[in-house]
């Protein structure tokens, strides 16, 4: 196998790599085994220039609408009290850890906006009861901090 880079067009936002419509060079294995099978990117061809333009136009239209929506969602999230009931053992240690899907469901239950679990970033795995803070990327320019209270049920 050669270490030749692979040229791809991103169809989804990929942290640390780019936004939809961006043309990126990645290692062949990363593109073939991760990005393409998960529909995060598609192979670049000469005929794909029109597709890049369509993706970028759609993204621009969404972002204009999305920036105001993201700011509004961030203000809604900052006022929420999120409580997550989970099973815990002695000393407040959880059985497992809190996932991004658990957080998204708890936000919805608390009356918040529906969040994409892939946009929730947990800095350190949540494995104990108590207060924790996570970050939510609502838009490339807007992120919100969420305070979560994990309690033993």
Buried b (16+ CB within 10 A) or exposed e, 62-76: ebeebeebbeebbee
**Is the pTM of the predicted complex or chain greater than 0.85?**
no
Q: Can you give the pLDDT at residue 33?
A: 93
pLDDT in tens, 60-87: 666 556 777 788 878 888 878 889 888 8
CATH class held by domain 71-152 = alpha beta
So where are the chain's domains?
5-68, 71-152
Instruction: Transcribe 54-72 into DSSP letters.
Output: HHHHHHHHHHHHHHHHHHH
Per residue in 81-135, pLDDT tens?
A: 889 888 888 888 888 889 888 998 888 888 887 787 888 888 888 989 999 999 8
With 0-12 / 13-18 / 19 or more C-beta atoms within 10 angstroms meaning exposed / middle / buried, residue 148 is: buried
Lowest mean pLDDT, pick from 1-5, 44-48, 114-118: 1-5
**Residue whose C-alpha is closest to residue 29's, from 52, 61, 6, 59:** 6
Nearest to 131 by CA among 106, 150, 144, 103: 150
Which pLDDT score is estimated for 25? 93
Long-range contact set of residues 76-79: C-beta below 8 Å, sequence gap at least 24? 76/112, 76/113, 77/107, 77/112, 77/113, 77/136, 77/144, 77/146, 78/144, 78/145
The answer to whether domain 5-68 and domain 71-152 are alike in fold is no
| Alpha-carbon distances, residue 120 vs 33, 100, 104, 153 (angstroms) | 23, 6, 8, 24
- Domain at 5-68, CATH class: alpha beta
């Amino acid at each position: 196998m050669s270490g030749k880079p692979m040229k791809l067009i991103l169809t989804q936002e990929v942290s640390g790599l780019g936004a939809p419509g961006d043309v990126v060079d990645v290692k062949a294995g990363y593109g073939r085994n991760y990005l393409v099978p998960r529909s995060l990117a598609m192979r670049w061809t000469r005929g794909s220039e029109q597709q890049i333009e369509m993706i970028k136009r759609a993204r621009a239209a969404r972002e204009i609408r999305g920036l105001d929506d993201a700011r509004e969602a961030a203000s809604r999230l900052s006022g929420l009290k999120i409580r997550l009931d989970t099973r815990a053992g002695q000393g407040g240690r959880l059985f497992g850890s809190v996932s991004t899907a658990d957080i998204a469901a708890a936000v919805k239950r608390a009356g918040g906006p529906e969040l994409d679990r892939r946009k929730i970033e947990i800095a350190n795995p949540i494995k104990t009861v108590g207060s924790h803070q996570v970050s939510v990327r609502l838009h490339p320019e807007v992120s919100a901090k969420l305070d979560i209270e994990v309690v033993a049920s």
